[in-house]
Amino acid sequence: MNSLIWLPFLPLLGTLVPLLSAHLSRTACAFLTAALPALTLLLVLSHAGDIFQGERFHAVIPWIPAIGLDLAFRLDGLAMLFAILILGIGLLVILYARYYLSAKDSIGKFYAYLILFMFAMLGVVLSDNLIQLWFFWELTSISSFLLISFWGHKTEARKGARMALTVTGAGGLALLAGLLILGNTVGSFSLQDVLDNGDLIKASANYPIIVVLVLLGAFTKSAQFPFHFWLPNAMAAPTPVSAYLHSATMVKAGIFLMARFYPALADTNLWFLIVSLTGLITFLVGAYIALFQHDLKGLLANSTISHLGLITLLLGMGTDLAAVAAIFHIINHAIFKASLFMAAGIIDHESGSRDMRNLNGLWKYMPYTATLAMVASASMAGVPLMNGFLSKEMFFTETLHQASLGSLSWFIPVLATLGGVFAVAYSMRFIHDVFFNGEPINLPKTPHEPPRYMRVPVEILVAICLFVGIFPSLAVGDLLFAAANATLNGPAPDYSLAIWHGFNLPLVMSIIALIGGLLMYKNRAHLFKFQAQFPASDPKLVFESAIQWLTRQSQALIAWAENGSLQRYVFFVLAFAVVMTASSLLKLNTTAGQRPEIPLDALSITCAVLLCISALATVIWHRKRVVALITLSVVGLIVSLAFAKFSAPDLALTQLSVEVVTVILLILALFFLPQKTPKESSPRRIVRDLSLASLFGGIVGTISYALMTRPLDSISTFFTENSKTGGGGTNVVNVILVDFRGFDTLGEITVLGIAALGIYKLIARMRLFMPSADGNGLAWSEDRHPMLLKVISQSLLPLALLVSAYIFLRGHNMPGGGFIAGLVTSVAIIQQYIAHGVEWIKTRIKFDYQIMIGSGIGIATLSGLGSWVFGHTFLSSWFDYFYLPVIGKFELASAMIFDLGVFLTVVGATMLILANLGQLTTSERPTQQEHE
Amino acid sequence: MEGMYALCVGLLTACGIFLALRGRSFSVVIGLTLLSYAVNLFLFASGRLRLNSAAVLGESQQYSDPLPQALVLTAIVIGFAMTAFVVILAMRARADLGNDHVDGTLPKQPGDTEQKNGGNA
Amino acid sequence: MLNITIIAVAICICIALILNLWRLLKGPTISDRILALDTMYINAIALILLYGIHARSSLYFEAAVLIAMLGFVSTAALCKYLLRGDIIE
């Protein structure tokens, strides 16, 4: 169980090893790098006995179980088969790369990428959670990008890597969507749950979407037609990478995915049609293209595409035996293709060329390598006594049992045989063109045998080819059986791994393929001539131009959507908000709820009419700015009346005072802004905005109505019950503000202070235009401070301060409190500014408003900290009752100190904004008037 | 009563949004103010409408929900701070850019003589 | 008796408010509109007091005090704007 968790993470740890040991000799680095994967392989193999008995191992570390996110691993037959391939071939590639890479290449970096990729692949095959599987899936795309672009100085390497990443990454996104839908359909992201609920998934309405999305992921990764073009371009990678990624691992991840979800998704007509047809087409197209490649690796890449198509076709056939054949071919293909890539790499490395038109007659120069390559390509061609022959035989058998295309079903075996013919032909070409066929032409180096140990991996793989081919049951019997069991999520069917099944139709097909392939190769000159008639089309160019087209389109889209107009952005944001809210309202069945409505009365209707008409008047007259301001004041007044009416006296008081402050602020601003708004919206824009606004209003009104007519289950009973006993006040709203939710209020006054300071900074050094006449062109009055206003305002000040103090003190028990008292005080002071001017005030009020804000927030915080002194939590309040002669019994509460902080902050912030705004003009104004 | 209330909230929202979509900063500020009225009323209504039941202990038989009231109270004050910020920003934009259009540049309209910098001096 | 009075006063206030609105909308000068707004404040005071009497609650009277006081400031500010453009100088 615990060792299972280590399986993928040992290689992850191993990514550090090559980086740390790169300064040692290359051999040492290679050996140290190989240590952890080797250990992992041993760990996997240590589970083999139990797995062969049909056991399955799971290991889960819960992370966010509520949304199905766990770190979950599983080891079953299929996972083990892939883990062995990944680790085993990975180890051979490490050895091979030691000799392949030149001294110029940073071997530490290469190994680190390789092991990272190994980690990602192990993660994919061992994952027991859909999201986790996807994560590792994308990690394989990214790490393969690093590997393919290892020779980043080559254009083709960069382009090939980018293409591979684009195609597989896009497929990965489709896969994510598919897995999310799949997980939601099943109700669990656990892989085992998904596999066990195949019938549920297939019955679900989402099934077609899931299948298409998951298969998109698999097909892009496995280079299935029409996404096959990235694989040949990824051949720009160093050959060890090709041998690893494009034989055994990366491209097999797509196959693995199909095999993994086989019990959950397969066995329907849809699956059959998509998978088998895609596989068949890929099989033929890949084989055909492979024959005409001149590049050694290009031939192998296209043959890989073809073989992947073959496996896909098997997985799409819908019979259990076909699935077994698919698994078997996965093993065989991985082995012979890895050895072939390595052999191709040796040829490239020791002769300096990969062009089969120049490579000829290498048999004389490297007979040993030639023998190995010939055995491996014989396996690729499906020659008896090789492992490739066995699985191809099984494949032919299965094609004969297909009835899914109805009376056209005979097409499948015929086309399969045709594919076999091509496979023999290109294998023949690989052998004959390279090792025989005359003398080498213009090679950069004289070819010779590679270093002794560079050949070892090829030797091992070719030996396995032969071993599996001759003693199949002994070699892979148990592993294949366990993997087939795991793939089918049930018992595998009976099958026989014998070499000789008697003289039957599949054998005839094999013979036809062999003879046909040899004949085709012999007459290849005609075929090449025929093929030359087609205009050469490079998928790389098509892909690049497609990408460029996409870039241009998205640039055009961005230029359209992000044109720098805030007006447009606001429209987009609001339109999106409409769509989001409307869609959820559509699900609400009735607008009105159960709660009885309050009956209407004439006074309320009058007020509502006033509100609506004033709001509309504000809109209609918004270009006459002063008038709009007046109608806006009416709206504000009615809103505060509404608060009073519906039992919120505190809100009414706050709204009233804020209303006045806002009006003063807007008048101040209006002086510096144009008095009238020009008419500039086109009728189309007005209609557009009107419809959006009405839609939005309608939605908000609907939500509001639906909300109000439904019964309320509020948490507020806690507050009303504990207000007196816990907070010492009867005004629950105030107690909530200064006590229960005091921390929120502290945050809010801080925001208020920050906003005021920000405004202060914005006002500083602002150069403003000041009109010298009013909107109608009349000059301003000469009387700066009318006597009447001065006298009334001055007498208002003490009165207002008294009211303010009264509202502040009683706030804890009756409507009022620091917010309202602060606003009232600021309004009273501002009235003095209006009546007497800044200079007059300056000599009388000497304190700094910024310090006032600071001390306000400070006092509020300290009152909270004070409770720490008495061993209570932050902001918990204290209160008691006292008795004084004359005044009588009164209450003192620490919350009032907090409220004092609120009061000071509100006064400071409001005054900082308004007084500074007013002050700003004072120094400028006289110069303006002198010009008049 | 609830229907009428909802109607008023909806209308205020619509008016606010329409004005917020205008091009000149002062209209936008007015629109935002209207919108904040609507939002405050909306939030307040989430505690349901009740008559004669202020959340002051001992003053009435039943109490309206004090929590939305407390939230709206701070929302009103913060709303003022934000309005002030937008107003000053608009003024600053006019001072620095020379016009009061929210996009910072005047839309191109042939034959419009009123739209020169400095407004109606 | 009190109830009848309240209803009668309520009707009067309704009419007054509507007339205020009429003047406010009609104008024609800004001064007319400011005057209408100021009168509306006064009617609102009456309305709140009336509501307080009707509900037999003194909770709302502070609101009336505030309107009385702050309404004046708002009117004064608007008037100062008409007079001088800049209200704080």
Mean pLDDT by 10 residues, chain A (932 residues): 77 87 85 90 89 86 84 90 93 91 86 92 92 93 92 88 91 94 90 89 91 94 88 88 86 92 88 90 92 89 93 88 90 91 90 85 88 91 87 88 78 90 91 85 83 89 90 86 86 80 85 90 86 78 87 91 85 91 84 84 91 93 89 93 90 92 90 81 89 93 90 83 80 86 88 91 79 71 83 90 90 86 92 88 85 91 79 70 69 80 92 83 46 38
Q: Of the residues A516, A539, A562, which one is the last residue of a structural domain?
A: A539
Query: For residue A461, is it within any domain?
Result: yes
CA distance C53 to A376: 103
Cβ–Cβ of A626/C30 closer than 8 Å? yes
| Residues in C touching A630 (Cβ below 8 Å) | 24, 30, 33-34, 37, 78
**Neighbouring chains to C with at least 3 Cβ pairs closer than 8 Å:** A, B
| Cα A881 to Cα A111, A866, A888, C27, distances in angstroms | 77, 19, 10, 56
| Contact by Cβ (8 Å): A909, A752 | yes
* Whether residue C84 has pLDDT greater than 50: yes
| Residue of A651, A737, A748 with shortest CB distance to B44 | A651
pTM score, whole prediction: 0.68
Are residues A664 and C69, on separate chains, in Cβ contact within 8 Å? no
- How many CB atoms are closer than 10 A to CB A46? 10
Instruction: Please report, for the domain that includes residue C21, its CATH number.
Output: 1.10.287
Distance from chain centroid for Cα C61:
14
User: Residue C28: is the preceding peptide bond cis (ω within 30°)?
Assistant: yes
Question: Do residue B26 and residue A698 have CB atoms under 8 angstroms apart?
Answer: no
Size of chain B, expressed as the number of residues it contains: 121
pLDDT at B118 over 70: no
Query: A918–C59: do the CB atoms touch at under 8 Å?
Result: no
Which amino acid, A678?
P
Q: How many domains does chain C have?
A: 1
Q: Decide if B97 touches A, using CB distance below 8 A.
A: no
The pLDDT assigned to A365 comes to 87
Report the distance separating Cα A573 and Cα A50, nearest Å.
Answer: 58
Across B43-56, average pLDDT: 85
How far is Cα of residue A887 from the mean position of the Cα atoms in its chain?
A: 67
Place of tokens 């235009």: A769
Q: Which of residues 692-721 of A touch B (CB under 8 A)?
A: 692-694, 696-698, 700-705, 707-709, 712, 714-716, 719-720
Predicted local confidence at residue B30, as pLDDT: 93
> Residue A889: its pLDDT value, please?
67
Are residues A752 and A744 in contact, defined by beta-carbon separation less than 8 angstroms? no
- Determine, yes or no, domain membership for A199: no
Q: What torsion do the CA atoms of A331, A336, A337, A339 make, to the nearest 10 degrees? A: 130
Q: Cβ neighbours of residue A748 under 8 Å, at least 6 residues apart?
A: B74, B77, B78
Contacts of A758 in chain B (CB under 8 A): 85
Question: How near does any CA of chain C get to the CA of A653, in Å?
Answer: 6
| Domain containing residue C58 | 2-84
**Inter-CA distances, A73 with A56, A125, A132, Å:** 11, 9, 9
* Residue with tokens 């669990």, as numbered in its chain: A188
Is C65 an 8 Å CB contact of chain A?
Answer: yes
- Structure-block tokens of residue A65: 């179980």
pLDDT for residue A696: 93
Q: Answer yes or no: is C67 within a domain.
A: yes
Prediction ipTM score: 0.97
Burial of A369 (0-12, 13-18, 19+ CB in 10 A): buried
Q: Testing the interface with B: which of C57, C60, C81 to mutate, by most B Cβ within 10 A?
A: C57
Domain stop point among A491, A521, A539: A539
Distance from CA of B81 to the nearest CA of C (A): 18
Residue C31 touches chain B, beta carbons under 8 Å: no
Instruction: Decide if pLDDT at B120 tops 50.
Output: no
Could B8 and A768 be called an inter-chain contact, meaning their C-beta atoms sit closer than 8 Å?
no
State the DSSP H helix or E strand holding residue A891, giving kind and residue range, or none if neither. strand A888-893
Cβ separation B56–C59 shorter than 8 A: yes
Decide if pLDDT at B112 tops 60. no
Query: Which of C66, C75, C78 to mutate to probe the A interface, most A CBs <10 Å?
Result: C66
Answer yes or no: is C34 within a domain.
yes
Q: Where are the beta strands (DSSP E) in A175-229?
A: none
Asked whether residue C89 is domain-assigned, the answer is: no
Question: What's the pLDDT score for residue A213?
Answer: 94
Residue A696, min C-alpha distance to chain C (Å):
27
Name every residue whose Cβ is closer than 8 Å to that of residue A701 and which is 6 or more positions away in sequence: B6, B7, B9, B10, B11, B13
Domain boundaries, position A293? 279-473+503-539
| C71 falls within a domain | yes
The pLDDT of residue A932 is: 36
The tally of domains found in chain A comes to 2
User: Which domains can be identified in chain B, with CATH numbers?
Assistant: 2-50+64-98 (1.10.287)
Residue C24 resides in a domain:
yes
Helix H, strand E, coil C: the string for A35-72 is: HHHHHHHHHHHHCHHHHHCCCCEEEEEEEEHHHCEEEE
Quote the CA–CA distance of A222 and A217 in Å, as a whole number.
Answer: 9
Q: Alpha-carbon dihedral of residues A665, A669, A671, A677, nearest 10 degrees?
A: -120
A8 preceded by cis ω (within 30°)? no
- What pLDDT does A70 receive? 86
- Quick one: closest CA in C to B57, which residue? C59
Per-residue confidence band for B43, with pLDDT thresholds at 50, 70 and 90: very high
Q: Does residue C30 form part of some domain?
A: yes
Amino acid (one-letter) located at A603: L
pLDDT the model gives residue B109:
59
CB B59 within 8 A of CB C59: yes
| Torsion angle in degrees (nearest 10) through CA of A242, A243, A244, A248 | 110
- Please state whether beta strands A879-884 and A69-75 pair in parallel, antiparallel, or not at all (unpaired): unpaired
Q: Is residue C46 part of a domain?
A: yes
Angle at B89 between CA B84 and CA B95, to 5 degrees: 130
Query: In chain B, whose CA is at the least distance from the CA of A656?
Result: B76
State residue A2's pLDDT score: 63
Question: Using CB atoms, which residue from C60, C65, C80 is nearest to A803?
Answer: C65
Question: What is the least distance, in Å, from the CA of A887 to any CA of chain B?
Answer: 22
- The mean predicted confidence, pLDDT, of chain C is 89
At residue A887, the pLDDT reads 64
Q: From the CA of B52, how many Å to the nearest CA of chain C?
A: 7
Q: How far apart are CA A713 and CA A665, in angstroms?
A: 40
Rounded CA-CA distance A635/A659 in Å is 10
**In B, residues 19-58, which contact A (CB 8 Å cutoff)?**
19-27, 29-31, 33-34, 37-38, 40-42, 44-58
Question: Does any CB of chain B come closer than 8 Å to the CB of residue C57?
Answer: yes
Asked if residue B40 has pLDDT above 70, the reply is yes
Neighbours of A60 (CB within 10 A): 17
- Whole-Å CA distances, A102 to A156, A177, A238, A245, A295: 19, 42, 11, 20, 21
Distance from CA of A180 to the nearest CA of C (A): 56
In a domain, C63, yes or no: yes
Q: What is the distance in angstroms between the CA of the first residue and the CA of the last residue of chain A? A: 91
In a domain, A512, yes or no: yes
Residue A189 covered by a domain: no
Burial letters A885-896, b for 16+ CB under 10 A, else e = eeeeeeeebbbb
Q: What pLDDT score does A174 carry?
A: 94
Supply angle C-alpha A160, A163, A164, rounded to 5.
Answer: 85
Q: What gap in Å lies between CA A842 and CA B73, rounded to an integer?
A: 32
Flag whether residue A683 sits within 8 Å of chain B, measured between CB atoms.
no
For residue A588, being part of any structural domain is answered with: no
Whole-number pLDDT of residue A433: 87
